[in-house]
Amino acid sequence: MAIVLAATAATQGSAKITSASTYYDRKEGFAYFSGNVFVDDGKYQLHADRAYVFMDGTNELKRIVAIGSVAMTNDARRAYGAKASYYREPGMVVLYAGDGVPAEVREEHPDGPRVVRGKKIKFWTESEQVEVLEAEISSPNRGGLGELKGMKEKIGK
């Protein structure tokens, strides 16, 4: 089954959500998706085992909580975790580690991937700001100290 929801902060278009099984209560503004959940809003795609979707009275997306084998993608970035919460306002995603799975954001580059792992990662979809709790950061070396080591030395970490 597929459900199409009104505007998302990322695209101001619609988001299409599909899964093997869906429970939808329009009156309460709630939907539960389970089994091969896929969310596509044109800019971001999300896969998960199950998802809870909360909407306002006009069927506009407010929040998505995805649980189990969460993977998000857009262009060159990928994010993984045990759980993810997307908040339409302020356009923020929170990834959570759990069940032995770290929260991770990976950006591919020609010289190698840049990876941020942590217990909890918040990122804002429009500004691309990232906040990480218990961070582990890796970046490819480009000679000398490398970009990451130099950054760590500058900030004293």
> Which CATH number do you get for residue 98?
2.60.450.10
Reported confidence tier of residue 12, pLDDT bands at 50, 70, 90:
low
How high is the mean pLDDT of the chain? Answer: 81
Give the pLDDT of residue 133: 80
Look up the domain containing 116 and give its range. 2-155
Q: How far apart are CA 135 and CA 119, in angstroms?
A: 7
pTM of the model: 0.77
Q: How far apart are the first and last CA of the chain?
A: 48
Task: Kindly state the tokens that stand for 129.
Answer: 């700001």
Q: Which of 4, 32, 5, 38 is nearest to 19 (CA)?
A: 38
- What total number of domains does the chain contain? 1
Q: Which of 109, 133, 110, 138 is nearest to 122 (CA)?
A: 133
Torsion of Cα atoms, 72 then 17 then 129 then 85, to 10°: -90
Give the pLDDT of residue 2: 53
Give the pLDDT of residue 101: 86
